[in-house]
């Protein structure tokens, strides 16, 4: 897992998607928030920074997952899903991470794995001996060889067992071995649900964890990687002809939350596409320029280009904030500040530019455009690059949500930017598309199989059927960050 989670634990609640050939399937995504755990922005940023160090590292169905929870800058939530593995099936809560490839869960023999979770979820442990369909993956298995090529797997001549070791920049890590077992899926077919469908997948069984992964306050069962390497579940399902090699999400940014996550292509007339940078393990794009109020900033395009020295522009739903390459950060912040009225009071906290606002930010702050190769622009509203903090007297405190990684040339587009948009990861076409969208509305999802069939998927409900998404929202508490907890203290200093 080369780009796994650092500070926002992406937790995923996969309403198990069952796929039959030629039919759509579903997943469920949730986001939970802490209600009383606030930390400073520098801590939240530090967690992102640690996570970013991990960067070192024809289809027949549509899989749709309900999305619950909401993006809240005050209480930084997580998207999570629930996956059912083994026979009989056991449910596991896993983080969703588009910056890594591997699905792994804690094993019954795990050393250092937390036994309880402060997220108000029941932790489970995968036991190969209790699943009648479980089998180990040997070093000679073709799938293991694929994992070795992408650095997702290792092999020991001593026991011929395909294994993995992921070490993260925050000192935490996990190691374990690969197993093959059944993933249970709920299939949507013409508005109804077909049960008892399943697919064999290879996933990691973690038998050792360390660092933050051992802490029970925000413990989950594992991580669900949505990367594009062969070890990812989306690649495995695609190679079996079970799901298309494309997935999409639309995450609601309002207080109601929810959204849609599908293994399939959301079809919408306003979607624009830009090509993926070829031969990259992550979702790298060619960002060419940034415009503020239609004026391009004076930043050399090479600042955003992907290169061997860990530079580039990456789309990552596993990151809460957004990060600009160091050379682009100051021009961006200066351009934003220069456009606002002089009557708006500005304050700086630990390098973060903040503003005291008494009216709507839409009336004060400019529109920003991220301009990519192929002429595709991502239009950002003020709410897509600002974070609302607290209030001081009658003024709301808004801060620049984009961050700078000192000494780093990487640009990362996280949830701050991705929310309230349809995002399509077209792995078959090697492109990513997007469109601003009200994610509370239904979306049209295509299996792209040549059949012409498509399904209408709503946030939390399939059109014409509610049987698939009878899910209750739980106030799952996540020990993640509240930005600028001390903002009220420094504003008047």
Catalytic residues: 97, 316
Q: Burial, 309: exposed, middle or buried (Cβ in 10 Å; 0-12, 13-18, 19+)?
A: exposed
List b or e across 33-72, with b for residues whose CB sees 16 or more CB atoms inside 10 angstroms.
bbeebbbbbbbbbbbbbbbbbbbebebbbbbbbbbbbbbb
Cα(257)–Cα(202) distance, integer angstroms: 32
Q: Would you state the structure tokens that stand for residue 315, as one six-digit string?
A: 């789309």
Q: With beta carbons less than 8 A apart as the criterion, state whether 173 and 167 touch.
A: yes
Q: With beta carbons less than 8 A apart as the criterion, state whether 32 and 118 touch.
A: no
Q: Would you state the structure tokens that stand for residue 287, as one six-digit string?
A: 């960002």
Secondary structure letter of residue 107 according to DSSP: E
Which stretches does DSSP call E strand in 211-296?
222-225, 246-251, 259-263, 265-267, 272-275, 284-285, 287-292, 295-296
Q: Would you state the structure tokens that stand for residue 456, as one six-digit string?
A: 């209408």
Give the distance, in angstroms, between the CA of residue 2 and the centroid of all CA atoms in the same chain.
13
Q: Burial, 381: exposed, middle or buried (Cβ in 10 Å; 0-12, 13-18, 19+)?
A: middle
């Amino acid at each position: 897992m080369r780009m796994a989670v650092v500070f926002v634990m992406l937790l995923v609640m996969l309403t198990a998607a069952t796929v039959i050939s030629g039919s759509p399937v579903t997943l469920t995504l949730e986001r939970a928030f802490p209600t009383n755990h606030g930390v400073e922005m520098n801590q939240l940023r530090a967690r992102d920074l640690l996570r970013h160090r991990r960067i070192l590292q024809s289809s027949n169905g549509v899989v749709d997952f309900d999305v619950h929870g909401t993006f809240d800058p005050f209480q930084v939530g997580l998207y999570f899903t629930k996956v059912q593995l083994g026979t009989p099936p056991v449910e596991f809560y896993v983080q969703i991470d588009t910056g890594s490839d591997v699905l792994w869960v804690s094993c019954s023999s795990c050393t250092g794995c937390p036994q309880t979770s402060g997220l108000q979820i029941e932790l489970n442990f995968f036991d190969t001996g209790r699943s009648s369909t479980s089998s180990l993956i040997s070093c000679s298995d073709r799938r293991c060889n694929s994992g070795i090529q992408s650095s997702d797997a290792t092999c020991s001549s001593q026991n011929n067992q395909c294994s993995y070791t992921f070490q993260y920049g925050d000192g935490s890590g996990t190691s374990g071995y690969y197993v093959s077992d059944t993933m249970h899926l709920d299939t949507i077919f013409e508005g109804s649900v077909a049960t008892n469908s399943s697919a064999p997948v290879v996933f990691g069984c973690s038998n050792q964890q360390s660092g933050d992964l051992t802490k029970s306050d925000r413990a989950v069962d594992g991580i669900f990687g949505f990367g594009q390497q062969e070890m990812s579940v989306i690649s495995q399902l695609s190679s079996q002809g079970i799901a298309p090699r494309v997935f999409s999400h639309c995450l609601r940014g309002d207080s109601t939350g929810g959204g849609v996550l599908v293994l399939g292509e959301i079809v919408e007339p306003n979607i624009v596409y830009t090509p993926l940078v070829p031969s990259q393990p992550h979702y790298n794009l060619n960002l060419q320029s940034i415009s503020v109020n239609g004026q391009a900033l004076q930043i050399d395009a090479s600042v955003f280009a992907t290169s061997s020295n860990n530079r580039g522009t990456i789309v990552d739903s596993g990151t809460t904030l957004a990060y600009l390459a160091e050379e682009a950060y100051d021009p961006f912040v200066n351009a934003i500040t220069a456009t606002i009225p002089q009557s708006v009071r500005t304050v700086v906290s630990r390098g973060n530019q903040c503003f005291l606002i008494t009216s709507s930010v839409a009336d004060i702050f400019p529109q920003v455009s991220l301009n990519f190769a192929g002429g595709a622009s991502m239009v950002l509203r003020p709410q897509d690059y600002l974070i609302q903090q607290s209030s001081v007297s009658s003024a709301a405190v808004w801060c620049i949500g984009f961050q700078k990684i000192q000494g780093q040339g990487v640009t990362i587009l996280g949830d701050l930017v991705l929310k309230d948009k349809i995002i399509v990861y077209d792995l078959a076409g090697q492109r990513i598309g997007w469109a601003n969208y009200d994610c509370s509305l239904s979306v049209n999802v295509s299996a792209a199989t040549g059949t012409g069939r498509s399904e209408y998927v709503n946030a939390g409900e399939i059109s014409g059927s509610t049987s698939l998404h009878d899910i209750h929202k739980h106030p799952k508490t996540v020990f993640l960050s509240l930005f600028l907890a001390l903002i009220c203290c420094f504003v008047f200093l």
